[in-house]
Structure 1
C-alpha cells in the first residue's frame, strides 16, 4: 500500500471529478495535473519515499484569498508475483492486489490463491506452468470472498496435459491432476484462458454468488494426443453461479452440474466434447434445482444436451430449463434424458428415487449425424415436462420410456 502527498494549486471552480479522474489515471506515478488547457501545472508530486507520499491542495477562492487544506489519498500498488515465495510474502503482507507473471509451479505443488484478504484482485498476466508429477492436484486453488480474478490479453494457464494424457482419463493409467479448484463467494472470474488441462478443468465447489465470464478452455490438442475426462466446468454444492460468454473445446462434458441451485449457463459454445449435462445421483449432495441453460451452441460433440441420473441414485432434479440451444453435427445422440446412468454407460431399467420434474426443453434444434439418434428418453416418475425441439438427421432408433402423459416427443 502506498500513500501519496501532492502540492497542488487548483482553481476553486475546478470540478472535483476532473481532479480525481486525472489522479486515478496516473496514480502511483510522478505526474502533473493541468486544471486548464494552458499548459501551466496546477499540481505536482513533490516528494517521494518508499512507504508514503502526501499531497496538499491549495484552493484559490478569490483573487487574493487563499485557503489551504490537506488531502490524503491511499493508492494500492500491485504486488508482482513471479514465484511461490513471492506469493507467500504477499499473503503475509495482506496485499489485496496481486499480478501473477510467468510462474513455474514446482511439481506436486499448487498455485494456492487462498489465505488472501477479502476483496483481493488477482490478475493473470503471463504464462503459468506446472512441473510434472502423477497426483490428484489441483494445480490451482482459488478460495476467498469478494475476489476479482481476471486475465490480461496474452496470458495462459497451461497445464501441458499431454504429459499425463493416455486415453484413459480417470479410468486408469497415470494419476492426473484436476486443473483449477474454485471455492468463492460474491466474486467474479473473468477472461481466464486455460490450455491443455490434464483432467477436469474447472472444479466449482461450494460457491455462492459467483460469475464466470469470458472463460476459455482450450484442450483441442487432446483430441489427437489422448485427452479424456477433461470436463470444462464441474459444479457441485454451489448456488447462484453464472457461467457466460465462454468457450470450451475438450474431451468430456462441457458443463457437468452435479448439485446446486440457481445455476445459469448462457451464451456459451461447446466443441468436441460430450455436451451439456445435468448429472445427479453419485455424490454427497444430489439436488439440482432452478437451472437455466440458454443461448448456447454445441458443436461436434457426441451428445448435445442431457439430464442423467444415477442408476439406484436418490435426490432431486427439478426446474431444469434448456432454452435456445443449437446443436451441430452431433455424432451420437442429440437429446438424452435417462435415469439409469453409470460411468460405464446406461444399464437396465431406470429407477424412480431421483425423478426428473419440471423439465423444459424449448427451441433445442439442430442435426445429428446419420448413424446417431435424435432423442433418447429412459426414465421413471418424470412429471410436468414441456417439450419443443427440432432435432433431425439421426437414423438410429431407440425406444423411449417414462415420457409424462401429454408430452409429445418423437423418440429415436
Structure 2
C-alpha cells in the first residue's frame, strides 16, 4: 500500500509498513505490498526458524524491534534465517534478538547436546545494520554464500556465557562469500570472533572489537579445498582472548590462502599466543609436522602490536615449505614462553 501525505504544498510518498507481532502474521506480511516489515516482540516456537528466507521480496526493509525470543529445543537451528537480494535488515534502538543461550549451555559446546546456531545469512546486494544478538546458544552469525553485503554496528553479546557454560559461540563464521564487509561491530564470546573459511574472496573486517574469545582466525584446508583470497582485517582490537590473530591450515588439507592482510591490530592481555601461523591443525589443535598442500602466500602482518600475559607466547609459527612472500611488522610483547617458529619464507624476519 502506498501512503501519500500532503505537507507544505508538496505531495510526499511514504513506503507503506506493516508491524508483525506473532509468527503467524509473517508469511502474509512477506506476500503483501509493504516495503517495510517490522518484527516486534515475536516469540518463535521451539524448533522453528524465524523465516526471512522464502517469499521476501527484493527491496524490502526488515526491522527488528522489541524483544525477539525462541522456544527451547535441542536442534541445529538456526534461530533466524535470512536470505534474499537487495534487502535492508535493521535493528531498531532498544531491540534484542535474545537467544537465551543459558538454556543450552553445558560447558561442552559442540560435544554436548545439540545447540541451535543463531542467525544464518545468505544475501546479495544487501545491508545488515545495528542488530543486537544476545546469548546465542552456539554460533552467532553464519555468513554463507553472500555477495556484496555490508554488516555494520553489529553486537554479538555472549558475555554471560563466560560464567554460565557457553562454548563454541563463534561471532561471525564466513564461507563461500564475495565482497563482504563487517565494520564497526563488537563480539564478546567463547570462540573465534571471526572464523573465515574456504571459498572466500575480498572479505573486509574493519574497526571491530573482539573480547573474551579465541581471536580472529583464517582457516584453510578444512573440507572444501577452494581458496581464500584477498582478506583485509584492519583497525581491530582483540581484548582478553586466548589467541590474538591466527592463520591456520589443516594437516593434510588442500587449498590456498593468498593475500591475507592484518593491519593496525591492537592486542590486549592475550592469554596464550599473540600471533599464530600454523600448518598442522588436526582434531582441534596443532599436532605433528605441518604439511604442504594449502600454502599461505602473500601474507602481510603490519603494525600488529600489544601484549601477551606472562605465561603466553608472543609469536608462534609452524608452517610447511610452500609458504611464500610474507611481509612482517609486529611488536607483541609480554609473553615469556618461547615456542617454535619454523617454515617462514626466506628473508622474513619474525620476532619469535
The two structures have a TM-score, normalised by structure 1, of 0.83
Gaps of 5+ in 2: none
CA distance in 2, matches of 1:74, 1:410: 62
Assess if the C-alpha contact under 8 Å between 1:237 and 1:285 holds in 2: no
Assess if the C-alpha contact under 8 Å between 2:225 and 2:253 holds in 1: no
Residue aligning to 1:164: 104
Residue aligning to 2:197: 258
Shift of 1:409: 0.8
Assess if the C-alpha contact under 8 Å between 1:96 and 1:116 holds in 2: no
Assess if the C-alpha contact under 8 Å between 1:99 and 1:125 holds in 2: yes
CA distance in 1, matches of 2:30, 2:37: 10
Deviations along 1:80-106, one digit per CA (max 9) or x if unpaired, are 011111101112225331001000000
1:223 to 162, 172, 187: 162
Question: 1:210-359 to 2 correspondence within 5 Å?
Answer: 210-259=149-198, 260-359=200-299
Residue aligning to 2:343: 402
Residue aligning to 1:367: 307
Assess if the C-alpha contact under 8 Å between 1:258 and 1:286 holds in 2: no
Deviations along 1:285-337, one digit per CA (max 9) or x if unpaired, are 53110000000000000000000011100001000000000000000000000
Residue aligning to 2:90: 150
Q: Structure 1 residue runs of 4+, over 6 Å off?
A: none
Deviations along 1:180-210, one digit per CA (max 9) or x if unpaired, are 0000000000011000000000000000000
Aligned to 1:341, the other structure's residue is in SS state strand
Aligned to 2:16, the other structure's residue is in SS state coil
Alignment: residue pair count: 349
Assess if the C-alpha contact under 8 Å between 2:223 and 2:253 holds in 1: no
Residue aligning to 1:121: 61
Assess if the C-alpha contact under 8 Å between 2:136 and 2:158 holds in 1: yes
Assess if the C-alpha contact under 8 Å between 2:306 and 2:333 holds in 1: yes
Residue aligning to 1:22: none
Shift of 1:2: 2.7
Assess if the C-alpha contact under 8 Å between 1:230 and 1:252 holds in 2: yes
Residue aligning to 1:385: 326
Residue aligning to 1:141: 81
Determine which structure has more spread, i.e. the larger CA radius of gyration.
Answer: 1
CA distance in 2, matches of 1:95, 1:378: 55
CA distance in 1, matches of 2:3, 2:313: 65
CA distance in 1, matches of 2:2, 2:104: 44
Q: Let me know the Cα RMSD of the aligned residues.
A: 1.3
CA distance in 2, matches of 1:341, 1:194: 30
Query: Is it true that 1:92 corresponds to 2:28 in the alignment?
Result: no
Assess if the C-alpha contact under 8 Å between 1:94 and 1:116 holds in 2: no
CA distance in 1, matches of 2:318, 2:31: 55
Shift of 1:283: 2.9
Shift of 1:74: 5.0
Q: Cα–Cα, structure 1 residues 168 and 94, in superposed 2: closer, same or farther, change >3 Å? A: farther
CA distance in 1, matches of 2:186, 2:51: 25
CA distance in 2, matches of 1:364, 1:407: 16
The two structures have a TM-score, normalised by structure 2, of 0.97
